[in-house]
Amino acid sequence: MTPSSAHASPDGNGTPETSGRWTPRLAGVLLALTWPTQLVTAVVILGSNSLASVAQVFHTTQVVWFTLVVTLVYTLFTPFLFKLGDLYGRKRIMVAVTGLGVVGDSVAAMAGHYWLVLVGRALGAGYGVFPALAYPAIRDIFPAKLVKSASGLLASAGGLVALASPFLAAWLVDGWGYRGGLWFLASVSAVAFVLVVFLVPETPRHAFDSGFDWLGGLTLGGGLSALVYVLGRGDEWGWGSGETLSWITGGALALVAFVLVERSASYPILNLKVLRRRSVATVLLSASWGQAVAFSAPTISILLALYPHIPGVSDGLGWSVHHNAVITAPASVIVFLIGVYSSRLMRRVDARLLARCGLALMALGFLLMGSFHADETQLMWTMCVANLGGGTVVAAAPVMVVGAVTPDEHGQASGTLIMLLGLFSALFGALFFAVLDAHSTVMKGTAFYSDSGYTAALRLGGLLGLVALAIALFIPPLREPERDAAALPVPAAH
């Protein structure tokens, strides 16, 4: 039996657990994987709430880099890190990225110069890749009967993070400025490091190539990073400007070069034959597209809630951050609860069906939100509908990936999913702001948005959800993890 075909053992003695039942040890492994995976959500929320503090402390007009540098760095390095996980075992890479997270956030928190803050943020950005390592690790470690439910639980825990993070961000940033947020991230990254070191077992290798496709990784990561960067800055530069078109052209050419490189590479970083399979292509495209809508469209409702109400100028609701957190709390709880329920249900129900139902509900929720968002009650119930669907989509996505690929292909599939998710999130964010800007009034250098802009942007979110649903309808029947486990040789008794 090759190492790539064996399941790792949570008890570290080389004997796979096959009972299909939850044990305290498996619960500990899931906690150790969930903590740093959902730290990514906390990083985004805390980072967004720290921007004003950073700008005032360092008197910089380049505050956008405080969050953008994190996205760019993990997008660039994702192809390398998931391939290294296949080559040397995923636990080693998990330990490295969580350790760098502690160092990076500590450097950024202590920095006295803005450039050093950015260096720290770049060092810590590696934990953005953690989800691409965690989901394949579940398949390596858990009994086949628990792979679906564990994957769904890992994804749906983001609802609890989304519930707590706005309150936490308000407390930390209001009390200690951006440094409070960064010290908190350094602390929880340290906890993640300890959990991974002591609770996650070594995972098997899934690639035994002696070479590494550096050129393929650079063209893929560089091309995607260029596109993510320009999508984040295009609104500022102007979409028809020479700078914008140069970055788009450069990113597109890099991706074309990647395809050409991979065709002749001795040790390709991505197996394009795998990605061309109908099951893999449709799952990755619908899952990344649908999750990108679920994560990016709620930004519109946040702007609606927090922007002031100025008759004739701004049609925001004028809420405080704390009040908005209270109003959105039920929707965040729904994400977690529906994730837990879906995780249990997917042991008996086809994940494709749940994903399609989730995408339909999410699209309906954003379409309804576009028409009904005048007060707390309307925004609360429409957001609950959207999150009921979005939570189902997030829980079903990793389970569908499990059914689309073999264990040896899971690392590159999860890495590709993370890269596409980042790209689509940047694209949709740019589209939403383009719609809002078309219905805006600029006063003293600040753009304020009309109700027609919020309506159009939210309805666009619903339409994008329907596109993901249309793609999901073409997903063919998927394999069961139990089938892969049954095909494995039985380990010899010792």
**Which pLDDT value is given to residue 271?**
86
Q: How far apart (Å, rounded) are the C-alpha atoms in residues 488 and 1?
A: 8
* Sign for the pseudo-dihedral over CA of 463, 464, 469, 471: positive
**Which pLDDT value is given to residue 208?**
67
Q: What is the mean pLDDT of residues 180-186?
A: 90
Q: What are the tens digits of pLDDT across the range 281-301?
A: 999 999 999 999 998 898 899
Of 239-243, 321-325, 339-343, which range is least confident? 321-325
Q: What is the mean pLDDT of residues 210-217?
A: 81
**Which pLDDT value is given to residue 473?**
97
Across all residues in the chain, what is the average pLDDT? 86
Q: Is the pLDDT of residue 443 over 90?
A: no
**Which pLDDT value is given to residue 482?**
60
- Could you tell me if 333 and 163 are in contact, meaning their C-beta atoms sit under 8 angstroms apart? yes
Q: How far apart (Å, rounded) are the C-alpha atoms in residues 140 and 383?
A: 36
- Could you please state the CATH topology (level 3) that the domain comprising 273-475 is classified under: Growth Hormone; Chain: A; (1.20.1250)
- Could you tell me if 426 and 231 are in contact, meaning their C-beta atoms sit under 8 angstroms apart? yes
Q: Which two tokens stand for residue 17?
A: 């657990």
Q: Is the pLDDT of residue 246 over 80?
A: yes
Q: How far apart (Å, rounded) are the C-alpha atoms in residues 49 and 66?
A: 11
* Dihedral (Cα; 340, 342, 346, 351), 10-degree rounding: -140
Q: What are the tens digits of pLDDT across the range 373-399?
A: 999 999 999 999 999 999 999 999 999
**CATH number for the domain whose boundaries are 24-200:** 1.20.1250.20
Q: What is the mean pLDDT of residues 83-92?
A: 89
**Which pLDDT value is given to residue 13?**
42
Identify which of 346, 329, 425, 432 has the alpha carbon closest to the alpha carbon of residue 40.
425
**328 membership: H or E segment, kind and range:** helix 321-345
Per-domain boundaries in the chain: 24-200, 213-268, 273-475
- Residue 27 banded pLDDT, cuts 50, 70, 90: very high
Q: How far apart (Å, rounded) are the C-alpha atoms in residues 57 and 364?
A: 42
Q: Is 62 helix (H, G, I), strand (E, B) or coil?
A: coil
Q: What are the tens digits of pLDDT across the range 417-433?
A: 989 998 998 899 889 98
**Which pLDDT value is given to residue 155?**
86
- Residue 462 banded pLDDT, cuts 50, 70, 90: very high
- Could you tell me if 240 and 174 are in contact, meaning their C-beta atoms sit under 8 angstroms apart? no
Q: What is the mean pLDDT of residues 457-461?
A: 97
Note whether 24-200 and 273-475 share their fold.
yes
Between residues 429 and 158, which one has the greater pLDDT?
429
